[in-house]
Amino acid sequence: MRTRVFALLAATAAAVVAPTAASAATIVGTLAGAVFNVGSSTPVIGAGTTFTNSASITTSNGTGDLSPVSFFTPLNLSSVTATWGSAVTLSGAFGTFVGTISKIDLSSVGTSSVVSLYTLGTFTPTGALAGFDPGAASLTFSFTQTGGAGAAVSGSYTLASPPSGVPEPAAWGMLIAGAGMAGAAVRRRRSVKVTYA
């Protein structure tokens, strides 16, 4: 009996003291960048346009866990096609983002057109960030063309981990409807009848 108790205590002590597999954390932070020499497959940018580029860099230091990524870090950006479900890859010495486009917003004022793309995917850290686990991330693009058909296109992006939220149209609709109903209720209650006895 004494041998069993001793063996059980020894096994428990070994389990408590033994090293466990390391568990790295996922990245929490943002990184902004610019796309240079943007080419477009259409004279006026819009849904379905394919954007190509010759250079991409970060335009600020990263925030949070992405802070080791410094200003002017060069990146490789695949061509980006503004269609739902299109694949996007952004890579650099600090890691690789691979995802698909899940939301497209188009706006136009006068001769200026803007295509905004929201991409969801996975960011796999490497290099200075190799101690972190791969995790969910978002990559938001904004491509702007000012001057009408054939004018130059500029681009910018933001990488966020965990993914930044995008309110759904139904949520905005409920917010506006709720505010309208609250306003109607307040207006209705302002009319007070005064009676004298």
Count structural domains, the chain: 1
Rounded Cα distance, 83 and 194, in Å: 62
Q: Residue 18: inside a domain, yes or no?
A: no
What pLDDT score was predicted for residue 21? 41
Q: What is the extent of the structural domain holding 35?
A: 24-183
Provide the residue count of the chain: 197
Q: Residue 1: inside a domain, yes or no?
A: no
Q: Residue 159: inside a domain, yes or no?
A: yes
Rounded Cα distance, 169 and 14, in Å: 56
Q: Residue 12: inside a domain, yes or no?
A: no
What pLDDT score was predicted for residue 17? 47
* Geometric angle at alpha carbon 11, from 10 and 17, rounded to 5°: 90
Q: Residue 131: inside a domain, yes or no?
A: yes
Q: Residue 188: inside a domain, yes or no?
A: no
What pLDDT score was predicted for residue 20? 42
pLDDT tens digits, one per residue of 133-151: 999 999 999 999 998 889 9
Q: Please spell the DSSP secondary structure of 49-99, one letter per residue.
A: PEEE-SEEEESS---GGGTTSPTT-EEEE--EE-STT-EEEEEETTEEEEE
Q: Residue 11: inside a domain, yes or no?
A: no
pLDDT tens digits, one per residue of 173-184: 666 666 656 555
Query: Residue 25: pLDDT band by 50, 70, 90 thresholds?
Result: confident
Query: In the predicted model, what is the mean pLDDT of the chain?
Result: 82
